[in-house]
Amino acid sequence: MNPSRPFILRPVATTLLMVGVLLVGFVAYGQLPVSALPQVDYPTIQVQTFYPGASPDVMASSVTAPLERQSGRFPALNQMTRRARSAAPSSLCNSS
């Protein structure tokens, strides 16, 4: 016996079965939970540079600024934060 034979012989029952499956699907779709603000971990890059004996001005001009210029070219970069310490500045880049 062909598995599709009962569906071909009874088109009204087949249509009702299809409508029932669609109805159950729509009801189930409506019951799915939706989170307004889902918990997402965004990609983050942190760069720390060390240049012992250098002043903060030298670190800012010769090390941190070129790194930030290169980091600024990342696609989809949303935020860049710089923290300058005496000999160990760091840059934090967030993207989506």
pLDDT digits over 23-71, tens only? 999 999 999 888 777 787 777 777 777 777 777 777 777 777 887 787 7
pLDDT of res. 91: 65
- pLDDT over 60 (residue 87): no
CA angle at 61 for the pair 59 and 62, rounded to the nearest 5°: 70
Tell whether pTM > 0.85. no
Query: Which is more confidently placed, 21 or 50?
Result: 21
In a domain, 91, yes or no: yes
Interval 74-96 mean pLDDT: 68
- What is the b/e burial string over 55-73, where b = at least 16 CB atoms within 10 angstroms of the residue's CB? eeeebeeebbeeebeeeee
In a domain, 87, yes or no: yes
Number of folded domains that form the chain: 1
Domain with 66, as residue range(s), is 44-95
In a domain, 14, yes or no: no
In a domain, 35, yes or no: no
